[in-house]
Amino acid sequence: MKLSTLIPEDCSKAAVLFNSKKRILQYISELAQVKIPNANQHDILEALLSREKLGSTGIGKGIAIPHGRLAGLDNIVAILLVNQQPIPFDAVDDRNVDIFVALIVPEDENKQHLETLASIAGKLNDKHFCKRLRQASNDNELYQVLVEFDKQ
């Protein structure tokens, strides 16, 4: 799976600045709503918050993969954010998080959802890749990091 295909260029945001888990999830909901015109931002946020209530999606090493299921959705919507400062996110290793790959998935797509999560987590295991994501100073540069990584 190519990240640059999964995450559209306009959903790659570098150097954003949020100071709380709730605010970053709200921003993710705002971006996702543009890609899902028949859904409202509140429903998207509720899907993300409901999943977080089951356990944090902070996977460690400063990375989180917040995700939620949404009825009436045909395709996965993916968003990449890199926050300027790591923020508390209740990650499994108790480290603050600055890289967020968010997924909004169709309500009934279990297999594809799990495969996508596993693929993203695997790619984010690459320390050099994560370092380059963190170093991107603007949205275009961040997206180019994805494109270059996919060529490897």
Reported residue count of the chain is 152
Angle of CA points 82, 124, 137, to nearest 5°: 30
Contacts of residue 9, Cβ cutoff 8 Å, sequence gap at least 6: 139, 140, 143
Please report the pLDDT score of residue 82 as a whole number.
98
Q: What is the pLDDT of residues 94-148, one digit of tens each?
A: 999 999 999 999 988 777 777 888 889 889 999 999 999 999 999 999 999 999 9
- For residues 61 and 53, is the Cβ–Cβ distance under 8 A? no
**How far is Cα 114 from Cα 100, in angstroms, rounded to an integer?**
17
Q: What is the pLDDT of residues 26-64, one digit of tens each?
A: 999 999 999 998 899 999 999 999 999 999 999 999 999
Please report the pLDDT score of residue 112 as a whole number.
74
Query: Which tokens go with 124?
Result: 């984010």
- For residues 83 and 18, is the Cβ–Cβ distance under 8 A? yes
State yes or no: pLDDT of 72 exceeds 80. yes
Say which residue the tokens 């890749």 belong to.
129
Going along the chain from its start, the domains and CATH numbers come out as: 9-150 (3.40.930.10)
pTM: 0.94
Catalytic positions, please? Answer: 67
- For residues 76 and 105, is the Cβ–Cβ distance under 8 A? yes
**How far is Cα 76 from Cα 111, in angstroms, rounded to an integer?**
12
Query: Which tokens go with 96?
Result: 């603050």
Please report the pLDDT score of residue 110 as a whole number.
72
Pick from 63, 42, 56: which is nearest to 124 by CA? 63
**How far is Cα 10 from Cα 25, in angstroms, rounded to an integer?**
17
Mean pLDDT value across residues 5-12? 95
